[in-house]
């Protein structure tokens, strides 16, 4: 299977990391983080998921070794910190950006795992971790409960289903259609769950208030 897998397009990988960097920097600024911390949050949000993915696959982290990643992540961080943070108060644009970002990230995470012929469960795990590690780090550093561990509507569900959609489509079509399908699925599920206030699945008789 590895021999027939296309190489992960550089521009897709960079775009996914840059999109997440915008979200990370905007989120940090909305939480009144100082300038240096905001910039660090954007860089961390953009690069951390890809770094963890590559390390798990036994590869050199491209976000550090590649010549194009860091400049674009830094540029996206500055944009998010200075401009996009204003959209946080506008719920739908901010949710759509987050949905697109996680959709792109699960796609590149799954694709790179597929290229290195790891088991199916590990492919899904790489997709989910690529999309969540940066956000978890930012939430932890700004003293917020990470979304995947909180009452965050269908965030985790969107990640898993999006990863499964990518895997199914890339096995039957091609990378670009699979990425479009996974991104659309993850974004629609996440945005719809927030707008309609669908709660995250909870254990029976457990308190659903985990926002703290």
pLDDT tens string, the chain, 212 residues long: the values are 444 455 678 888 898 889 889 888 988 888 889 999 999 999 998 999 999 999 999 999 988 888 889 999 999 999 988 887 777 666 787 788 788 888 889 999 999 999 888 999 999 999 999 998 988 888 888 888 777 666 567 888 899 999 999 999 998 988 889 999 999 999 999 889 888 888 777 777 665 554 44
pLDDT at 195: 86
C-alpha dihedral, 101 to 107 to 108 to 109, nearest 10°: 100
Report the C-alpha gap between 73 and 17 in whole angstroms: 6
pLDDT at 12: 83
Give the count of beta carbons closer than 10 Å to the beta carbon of residue 177. Answer: 13
Q: Which residues of 40-79 are buried (b: 16+ CB within 10 A; e: fewer)?
A: bbbbbbbbbbbbbbbebeeeebbbeebeebbebbbebbbb
Whether 162 and 123 have beta carbons less than 8 Å apart is answered as no
pLDDT at 34: 92
- pTM score, two decimals? 0.81
Whether 63 and 51 have beta carbons less than 8 Å apart is answered as yes
Q: CA 117: distance to chain centroid?
A: 22
């Amino acid at each position: 299977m590895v021999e027939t897998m296309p190489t992960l397009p550089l521009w897709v990988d960079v775009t996914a990391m840059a999109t997440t960097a915008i979200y990370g920097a905007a989120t940090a600024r909305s939480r009144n983080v100082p300038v240096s911390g905001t910039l660090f949050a954007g860089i961390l949000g953009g690069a951390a998921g890809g770094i963890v993915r590559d390390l798990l696959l036994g590869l050199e982290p491209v976000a550090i070794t590649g010549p194009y990643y860091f400049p674009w992540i830094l540029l996206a961080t500055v944009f998010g910190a200075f401009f996009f943070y204003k959209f946080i108060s506008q719920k739908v644009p901010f949710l759509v950006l987050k949905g697109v970002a996680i959709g792109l990230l699960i796609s590149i995470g799954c694709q790179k795992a597929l290229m290195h012929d790891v088991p199916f469960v590990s492919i899904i795990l790489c997709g989910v971790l690529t999309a969540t590690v940066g956000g978890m780090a930012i939430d932890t550093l700004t003293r917020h409960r990470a979304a995947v561990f909180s009452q965050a509507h269908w965030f985790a569900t969107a990640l898993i289903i999006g990863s499964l959609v990518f895997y199914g489509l890339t096995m039957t079509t091609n990378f670009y259609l699979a990425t479009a399908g996974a991104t659309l699925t993850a974004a629609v599920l996440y945005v719809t769950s927030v707008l309609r206030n669908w709660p995250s699945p909870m254990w029976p008789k457990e308190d659903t208030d985990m926002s703290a």
